[in-house]
Structure 1
Amino acid sequence: MTTPRDTPTSRRTRANGDGTVYQRKDNRWEAAGYVLAPGNTRKRIRVYGTTRKEALAKRTEKIANSNRGLPIPSIQGSLAAYLTYWLENVAVHHLRENTHTRYTTCVNRYLNPGLGKKKLTKLTAKDVRTWLNQLRTTCQCCTRGLDAARDQPRCCAAATCCSKRLSPLTLAYIHSVLKSALEHAVREEEIPRNVARNVRTGTPHPRRFEPLTADEARQFLAAARNDRLFVLYELALRTGLRKGELLRLQWEDLDLGAGTASIRRTLQRTQTGGLTALPTKTRASERRIALPGECIHSFKEHREVQEGEREAAAEGWRDNGLVFSTPAGGPIDPANLNRSFRALLDRAGIRRIRFHDLRHSTATLLLEQGVELVVIKELLGHAHIGVTAIVYAHVRLRLQRDAIDSLSAALDGPSDHEPHRDDGYDPPLCGTIVR
């Protein structure tokens, strides 16, 4: 009787321990084995190769990954299909409505046209890097057909490309949306790793802003003195509160006796709910701040004015408990506040800035007064002190230069014509106040 050991090597189709491996009728080789699947289960997989060695190598790689605890991917669809699932079933429950709208626009405008047809399981870091490089050098007018909707073409339709390219900040934002989606796919064990994390886009420079100087700030407050929303502008400049935080501030949030204000909510306009009260931007944004003495006095006067508006509106008054409201008691639309702010700047003869630049002005002026960075971080409600340090790096650099100049003046010592002191007392080297 012939045993497997007696079988000549040339006639054997597989070696001991090879598992299932054979040549198919189409001349391809197929190898099968069991690997780890999502849910801590085992699943039989099949791999193919043009040679027996190639099929065995593929199966060995999958089994090795399985032994390291990496489950095999279970999604066989395209990246576009997964992004749709992620937006509709995951991101919608964890993001603000406006943020979810921006994510959806980013997916539909950039991710799906560029990478949507790629299989999720076969997406590589090289695919992401190549796509980002192409996106960085592509004119958006030509790609999105913006020129076709213009009355007078001035780009690709006019045979003169305007080279309207995406900014580094926009590219970084698109990359972050892709990373967030793939990170959730990893958590759900749909893919073994997030390939977008292996692509470096560089750290974009923060947007440049031009905060008010101390003289401009005094000029601004003097011009706003007779404005109906003077207290809002004063509070924004003295405390650095965000626009939405100011517009959602309620009288019950103020403790004028203790001189504090509790920031709990923010007002935003959404596509579905209109003007809506939402939680603060981050957990750190929900905070309690100290009120300047000037603002406490202004609040008392503002309340008397609001009571007069309540009596004038009579039954048309909408009692929302808001500190800053329309003459009828309703919430102020952020867009209307922007228009009023720009009109105030024009009347005051001050250069045009954004309303958010009042917040930057607060932080800049505090830094120039020598206030600690951690105190400014708590006042502004930043989640991490690194955010404060990065945004106001240019201010800190100027303060460092002033400090170094002051130290240099102290180290240079007295001039030659001053009498030399030799009374046994040596003053400290840094005798100059560093502002």
Structure 2
Amino acid sequence: MTTPRDTPAPSRRVRANGDGTVYQRKDSRWEAAGYVLAPGNTRKRVRVYGTTRKEALSKLTEKIAASNRGLPIPSAQGSVAAYLTYWLDTVAVYQLRENTHTRYTAVARLYLIPGLGKKKLAKLTTKDVRTWLNHLRTTCQCCIRGLDTSRDEPLCCAVGKCCSKRLSPLTLAYVHSVLKSALEHALREEEIPRNVARNVRTGTPRPRRFEPLTADEARQFLAAARGHRLHALFELALHTGLRKGELLGLRWEDLDLAGGTASIRRTLQRITSSGLTALPTKTKRSERRIALPTPCLRSLEQHRDRQRKEREAAGAAWEDSSYVFTRPDGAPIEGSTLTRHFNILLRQAGLRRIRFHDLRHSTATLLLEQGVELVVIKELLGHAHIGVTATVYAHVRLRLQRDAINLLGHAFRNSAEITGTPDDGDEPPLVGAAVR
């Protein structure tokens, strides 16, 4: 006869050391707990919950698997708004230029914090970011930000007539990039396990359209600038493609008129805290040395003589800033002042209105049409990567490709179809596109 004592007890499944524990709570939910990797190479006990034992165990197994791969558990307990404020005030302020930091702060205040600020940083998902971006893309900003209600006389949203003022694709991509930068720093600080904003695709926005000067228009502009006090600056801009800040930041010590070169070391810009200030170039590759053409050397020598006379006329009132292009009293020139002179010259030359930066585009476009290699233009303009040059001027390259294909078709034609003197084979083949 078998007694209860002799009956074998049901076998219990024993979890291995490190697998954590799973048990049912009094409220009928299941709880799983285990140790995982935490920031600072420490261990931390975490707890997860589920309606079934399998669900709780699955959540714990996922966290332990991530810990075994070396991914620490997120430590961020605050909101997205709190982290953005911390990042802008203690991190980005030392890594970005002041004007860039100001734009980042405005983006956070206008778009990031109102849309995502209340969410927990550690629980922010790719779906949250995608939903928020789609909302920004389709929502009238005048309505959502109450721009119309602040007017003395409401015109659209406040009176029920939506103006449909939506963000442009470029602005939307910029807002997305600011969020990616903030979350990337949170990832480096091991606050979050991954940058969820990188998993969202906003599409490549179309680049801003620019209207560079043609060769004939460039000649008209230079003819109108001849005799202008800043003629040397405009000629240098059109021959070298220097940025506005790089031109205004040139000092005489940067020029080697005897050797025919210029060293681009700084850019002159107005910032909120200290006004007109000399700053480092846009990127490290923007700090470069370029060759100066003969017309620019001649006009720079004439400009130096004119500046010497202005110094003598100003006397004690002369401000020795050592810049190449200055006001009549020697003080640096504001970017807005240069733009005003530029617009006046455009009207005098009878040309369409373009931006000053389009002179830079004109230089690159005309060089490409003359058959200059893309890498040479990249070094002249100071682009960080040749891909930037290729992308910005893709339309020019497409036109040159069409010309080259037409030339190849000309080569494929029968000799009887070609009018003119016959080819005796002594002349070299035509390898370049016709110059416009």
Deviations 1:221-249 (A, max 9, x none): 00011111111111000000000000010
Distance 1:234 1:186 in 2: 48
Per-residue deviation at 1:408? 1.1
Partners of 1:32 and 1:44 within 8 A in 2: yes
Contact 1:262 1:289 in 2 (8 A): yes
Give the conservation status (yes or no) of the 8 Å contact 1:269–1:276: yes
In structure 2, the partner of 1:60 is: 61
Which position in structure 2 is the counterpart of 1:259? 260
1:51–1:433: structure 2 CA closer, same or farther, 3 Å change rule?
A: closer
User: 1: distance between equivalents of 2:20 and 2:433?
Assistant: 76
Q: Do the aligned partners of 1:373 and 1:388 also contact (CA within 8 Å) in 2? A: yes
Paired residue secondary structure (2:259): coil
Q: Does 1:382 align with 2:383?
A: yes
What SS does the aligned partner of 1:312 have? helix
Q: In the alignment, what sits opposite 1:131? A: 132
Distance 1:293 1:429, change over 3 A: closer
8 Å CA contact 1:240–1:360 kept in 2: the answer is: yes
What's 1:343 paired with? 344
Question: Structure 1: which 5+ residue stretches go unaligned?
Answer: none
Contact 1:313 1:328 in 2 (8 A): yes
The question of whether the paired residues in 2 share the 8 Å contact of 1:410 and 1:429 is answered with no
Q: What do residues 73-102 of structure 1 show as CA deviations (whole Å, max 9, x unaligned)? A: 001111111111111111111111111111
Give the Å deviation of 1:427: 7.6
Give the structure-1-normalised TM-score. Answer: 0.94
In 2, are the aligned partners of 1:410 and 1:430 still within 8 Å (CA)? no
Cα distance between partner residues in 1 of 2:342 and 2:285: 27
Distance apart, 1:251 and its partner CA? 0.1
Q: Secondary structure at the match of 1:149?
A: coil
Equivalent AA in structure 2 for residue 434 of structure 1: A
% of aligned pairs identical? Answer: 73
Aligned residue number for residue 163 of structure 2:
162
CA RMSD of aligned residues (A): 2.2
Between 277-286 and 197-206, report the one with greater CA deviation.
197-206
Report the CA distance between 1:7 and its aligned residue. Answer: 4.8
Amino acid at match of 1:115: L
1:298 maps to amino acid? S
Report 1:2-17 matches (<5 A). Answer: 7-8=9-10, 15-17=14-16
Assess if the C-alpha contact under 8 Å between 1:407 and 1:432 holds in 2: no
Residue 206 of structure 1 corresponds to: 207
Q: Is 1:301 aligned to 2:299, yes or no? A: no
Instruction: Give the counterpart letter for 2:346 in structure 1.
Output: L
Counterparts of 1:384 and 1:416 in 2: how far apart (Å)? 45
Q: Which amino acid aligns with 1:106?
A: V
The answer to whether the 8 A contact 2:318-2:329 is kept is yes
Letter in 1 for 2:77: Q
TM-score by length of 2: 0.93
Q: CA deviation at 1:53?
A: 2.5
Contact 1:255 1:261 in 2 (8 A): yes
| 1:305–1:68 CA distance, 2 compared to 1 (3 A) | same
Give the Å deviation of 1:406.
1.4
Q: Is residue 236–residue 359 contact of structure 1 (8 Å, CA) maintained in 2? A: yes
| Alignment of structure 1 residues 362-401 onto 2, 5 Å | 362-401=363-402
Q: Distance in 2 between matches of 1:420 and 1:297?
A: 44
Cα deviations by residue, 1:125-167 (Å, 9 ceiling, x for unpaired): 1111111111111111111111123344332123211111111
For the residue of structure 1 that corresponds to 2:54, the secondary structure is: helix
8 Å Cα contact 1:285-1:381 kept in structure 2: yes
Shift in Å at residue 315 of structure 1?
1.1
Q: Do the aligned partners of 1:185 and 1:191 also contact (CA within 8 Å) in 2?
A: yes
Q: Which amino acid aligns with 2:254?
A: D
Query: What amino acid is aligned across from residue 360 of structure 1 in structure 2?
Result: H
Q: 1:192 matched to which residue of 2?
A: 193
Q: Could you tell me how far 1:418 is from its partner in structure 2?
A: 6.1
Instruction: Tell me how far apart the structure 1 counterparts of residues 296 and 428 of structure 2 sit (CA, whole Å).
Output: 41
Would you say how many aligned residue pairs link Structure 1 and Structure 2?
A: 428
Q: CA deviation at 1:430?
A: 5.0
* Contact 2:15 2:21 (C-alpha < 8 Å) held by counterparts: no
**Residue of structure 1 in register with 2:150 after alignment:** 149
Change (3 A) 1:194 1:253: same
Match of 2:269 in 1: 268
CA distances 1:306-337 after superposition (whole Å, capped 9, x unpaired): 11111121111111100001111111111111
Shift of 1:6: 5.8
Aligned-partner Cα distance in 1 for 2:83–2:176: 16
**Counterparts of 1:30-179 in structure 2 under 5 Å?**
30-179=31-180
What are structure 2's unaligned runs of at least 5 residues?
none
Deviations 1:154-194 (A, max 9, x none): 32123211111111111111111111111111111111111
Query: Which residue number corresponds to residue 326 of structure 1?
Result: 327
